[in-house]
Amino acid sequence: MMIMCYKITGLAQEHGTMSEDVVRNTFAATEEGFLSLVRRTHLIKPSMATIGSCCLVGIIWRGTLYLANLGDSRAVIGCLNASNKIVAEQLTKDHNASMEEVRQELKSLHPDDSQIVVLKNGVWRIKGIIQVSRSIGDAYLKKREFAIDPTTARFHLYEPLRRPVLTSEPSICSRVLSSEDSFLIFASDGLWEHLTNQQAVEIVYNNPREGIARRLVQIALKEAARKREMRYGDIKKLDKGVRRYFHDDITVVVVFIDHELREEGSASVPELSVRGFVDSGGPSSFTGLNGIS
């Protein structure tokens, strides 16, 4: 999603400011670009129409945090309350059919489709296929021209689409950062399946900054192993093709908010800790640009 980062910074420079409209237009341009790629390659690689991704973006611009998300990755902020205790606040909405609110939204948008959400093996899925209701891509669930033929049963819809069942319209919010706001946790749903928001912020608050994203991933994996009655070492050894049956992908970014730097007008990037289940060591590709971080 580095392309999206470049698009956001480009649009912000063009408009001379950051706004929710800039973020919304960036998501729209990213979706349009990907669907154009799917269209160009559809005859030779129709499976491109089944590729999709959740997307979670955070921008700090001149003391204001802008957030936008599609899918069930989540942003949580750790804040100090009046008693100087760390408290978690979830900033984003989960676009997942497991949420009653999402199921009701889908049913109201598709009153003529009794199969818009289906409980399958104990999991709510849209059209019996996918859990998230918003994404970049997944063209076969948005446009009839990308329908998948019956030879690929996993993605085949038995009735043609009447209208898109997924959307790329993000949930967007903004927030002026206060002195009580200490850090942000951005993570894919693989983390939140095993840790509550409060557990995650307490882990970050009570441990050294260095390697904190790695620590969150490790604790989530240990919990996944415990639930499966496995050893942590064994779950780490699972091959990529098998791992998904035991736990979802886990990617974590922790951003520490250094208010002293903000007050000095520094354009420096806040301190970051980044970790995915696959080793992602090396310098961060995040940059600061004219007030963007």
* Residue 242 belongs to some domain of the structure: yes
* Percent of the chain clearing pLDDT 90 (strictly above): 63
Question: Domain span at residue 246?
Answer: 178-282
* Residue 72 belongs to some domain of the structure: no
| Residue 130 DSSP symbol | B
**Residue of 176, 170, 171, 186 whose CA lies nearest to 251:** 186
What total of structural domains would you count in the chain? 1
* Residue 213 belongs to some domain of the structure: yes
* Prediction pTM value: 0.85
* Residue 221 belongs to some domain of the structure: yes
Over the stretch 20-35, which tens digit does the pLDDT of each residue have?
999 999 999 999 999 9
* Residue 229 belongs to some domain of the structure: yes
Over the stretch 151-203, which tens digit does the pLDDT of each residue have?
787 888 888 888 999 999 999 999 999 999 999 999 999 999 999 999 999 99
Pairwise pLDDT comparison (231 vs 69), residue with the higher score: 69
* Residue 9 belongs to some domain of the structure: no
* Residue 126 belongs to some domain of the structure: no
Amino acid at 224: A
CA distances from 8 to 30, 100, 262, 287 (A): 10, 32, 21, 12
| Residue 249 DSSP symbol | -
Please provide the average confidence, as pLDDT, over all residues in the chain: 85
User: If you average pLDDT over residues 62-86, what whole number do you get?
Assistant: 95
Q: Strand, helix or coil at 159?
A: coil
Are the C-beta atoms of residues 270 and 262 closer than 8 Å to each other? no
292 phi, psi to nearest 5 deg: -90, 140
Q: Token pair for residue 58?
A: 């955070």
Sequence-ordered alpha helix ranges (H) in the chain: 2-15, 20-41, 100-109, 189-192, 197-205, 212-227, 232-236, 240-243, 259-263
* Residue 192 belongs to some domain of the structure: yes
